[in-house]
Structure 1
Amino acid sequence: MDARAIIGWNLRRLRVERGLSQERRALAAGIDRAYVGRVERGSENVTITTLDAIAQALAVPVADLLLAPPAGSARPQPWRAGRRPRAD
């Protein structure tokens, strides 16, 4: 797995674990939602500055985005489509 794929794998895993949509995650980091999607797919070459913004928005060290997943790990499931119910 190359570095872009590892970063994308970790980004999706952490985002879904925290119950964040790509849009919310992007807003928290101050980057475009479409860019987040490209990073998660491993098709974007991110800068250290962007990795730092992403890590801060997820409240994890940057190094957590660079850890290779354990051998045989399944790709993290995408966030479910549709709106979440309101918590009134």
Structure 2
Amino acid sequence: MKSEAIFGQVLKNIRKEQKVSQEELAFRSNLDRTYISMLERGIHQPTLNSLLAIAAALDMKAAELVGLVEEQVNLKNGESLE
């Protein structure tokens, strides 16, 4: 699975856990809802500015968000997290 698809899955999971709609996340991050949708579907990769804005909108650090994506990438690739 490609990293952009994994990022999309992680983003969607976090957004749903926080009970935030795509529209609300877009508003909070000052991004377009369709862009959020494309990120979640793995069509686009976020820019650094978008990543920072999305993380802030989800009340987390960008490094935290990237770390969650990295964990999933490693799991999908069968790598150990140790």
TM band (smaller chain): 0.7 to 0.9
Identity %: 38
TM-score by length of 2: 0.77
Question: CA separation in 2, counterparts of 1:64 and 1:12?
Answer: 15
Structure 2 residue 3 is matched with structure 1 residue 3: yes
Question: CA separation in 1, counterparts of 2:7 and 2:63?
Answer: 10
Alignment of 1:64-83 (within 5 A): 64-66=64-66, 67=68, 68-69=71-72, 71=75
Question: CA separation in 2, counterparts of 1:3 and 1:47?
Answer: 14
- Unaligned runs of 5+ residues in structure 2 are 77-82
Question: CA separation in 2, counterparts of 1:35 and 1:26?
Answer: 8
Alignment of 1:33-52 (within 5 A): 33-52=33-52
- Unaligned runs of 5+ residues in structure 1 are 73-88
Partners of 1:10 and 1:64 within 8 A in 2: no
> How far did residue 63 of structure 1 move?
2.5
TM-score by length of 1: 0.72
Question: CA separation in 2, counterparts of 1:52 and 1:19?
Answer: 20
Partners of 1:8 and 1:42 within 8 A in 2: yes
| Higher helix proportion (structure 1 or 2) | 2
